[in-house]
Amino acid sequence: MGGVLSRLLLNPVLVLASLAAAVLFGFSSPALASALEPLGGYYLSLLKVVVLPYLFSAIMSGIAHIAADPASRRYLGRIVVVCILAMITAALVGLAAGFVFPPAGQVSGVALAALGDIVNGSSARRFVTDTVVTLSSGSGAPAGTGDNFFENFIPENIFLALSSGDTIKVVLFCAVFGAALSRHLDHGGRTLLGLLQVVQLTSAEIIRGLNLLLPFALFAMISSQVAHVGVGPLISLGGFLLAQLAAAVGLVGISLLLIAQRTGLSPVAAAVRLGDVMMQALTTRSSIACIPQAVDAMTHRLGFARSVTELVLPLCIAINRIGPIFYYVIGAMFIAQIYGVMLEPQEWGILVVAAIGAGIASSGGTGPITVLLIGLVAEPLKLPIEAAVVLFIAVDPIVDALRTVVQVVGNCAVSALIVPVPEKSTDLATASGTATS
């Protein structure tokens, strides 16, 4: 009975029907749709509170296993190289999308008036003012930049980092603790590793149960987002959204091609096997919340070695910020086009490097924090961001969904380039079996 219910509620047709119904409901009854927003928030909170123990146990045990096995340490070097190449690719795809689909488009007088209404609207200005006050230092720079950059990575209190969902600090602590744990496996360390695996399996089981609520949570989250955004910003920022969509589709397409090449499947088959992961990313807008399902899809459906995937994929999602990188490139191009700024050849290089730096700095940040960090890209190019931030925040619920899909699927592809497929690399087939036993 449980299997039948699971197949019914997670059927792609039902999920897509919920998505379409949510969009229609959000446009037709915005007041009622807004009232459903807390329900979606409750679902996302439940998901995140279970994901953190999963992340904590998976990374710590994964690091311990790899640090204890000298033959597996080569994956750490691969992670660095492949992640750097992935971030450069994300920036270049963002540039290409911005050239093919100019983010500012052909802005008409009506569209400019709508943009002005959004910028000058009292609620929007108040929201941005409050956000900047909350997220900025005294000098007006976003927190976590400049002198405070390394505060994004160094955990002062691991329990505080866990409770606040500060992912990058949790990952760093788990990496250090796991490496140290590997030196004490013969002195009670294996018992702790066993406990961590129990925590991981239990958390995954709870997450599978929560996924049964996905169609209902999807309806609540999407309808309330549509109700808040409305039609005006979508029309006014049509070129910006089109460029973001083009870059996201391009990066997801490249990712699926890489996964298909590694597994011997067709890109369509790879997309089908990652379909529920993409849908979860689209609806929750939380790459961290997607980690358990992504690991499950990469191992059970695509055949990658589980012991290595459980380490590589969470690490890549946390540090390889390809989703924000293409967003920052297109955002900077939008600002330059709106203000009629013609960038010199060397400034395009600065744009790419700055977008990668801003993407790395966005680790652990979501929503307004991610949007505000576009200042790290605009500042070296001398581009004003005050008005643009309001516009970007207005449509961020939509763009954030695209960023999350790219972040999750893109890092699945990065993992596919690093993690062996058991059928092709029999030397690590036993490692996969050990992790599932």
The whole-model pTM stands at 0.70
Per the structure, the complete domain to which residue 34 belongs is given by 2-436
Residues in contact with 134: Cβ distance below 8 Å, sequence separation at least 6, in sequence order: none
Angle between helices 238-263 and 396-418 (to 10 degrees): 20
Residue 98 half-sphere exposure toward CB, CA atoms < 13 A:
22
In total, how many domains does the chain have? 1
State residue 136 phi and psi, 5-degree precision.
-110, 160
State residue 142 phi and psi, 5-degree precision.
-60, 145
The Cα 79–Cα 323 span in angstroms is: 17
Selection from 354, 382, 112 nearest residue 237 by Cα = 112
Domain CATH for 400: 1.10.3860.10
Q: What is the pLDDT along the chain (437 residues), one digit of tens a residue?
A: 556 776 677 666 776 687 788 888 988 888 898 888 888 778 877 877 777 787 777 777 777 776 666 655 677 778 889 999 999 999 999 999 999 999 887 555 455 555 555 445 434 444 444 444 333 333 344 444 444 555 656 777 777 776 666 666 777 787 788 878 878 877 777 788 888 878 878 887 887 788 778 778 878 877 887 787 666 666 667 889 999 999 999 999 999 999 999 999 999 999 999 998 998 898 888 888 888 899 999 999 998 988 788 888 988 888 899 999 999 999 999 988 888 888 888 899 999 999 998 888 776 555 566 787 888 888 888 888 776 776 787 678 788 889 999 999 999 999 999 988 755 434 333 433 433 33
Beta strands in 152-220 (DSSP E): none
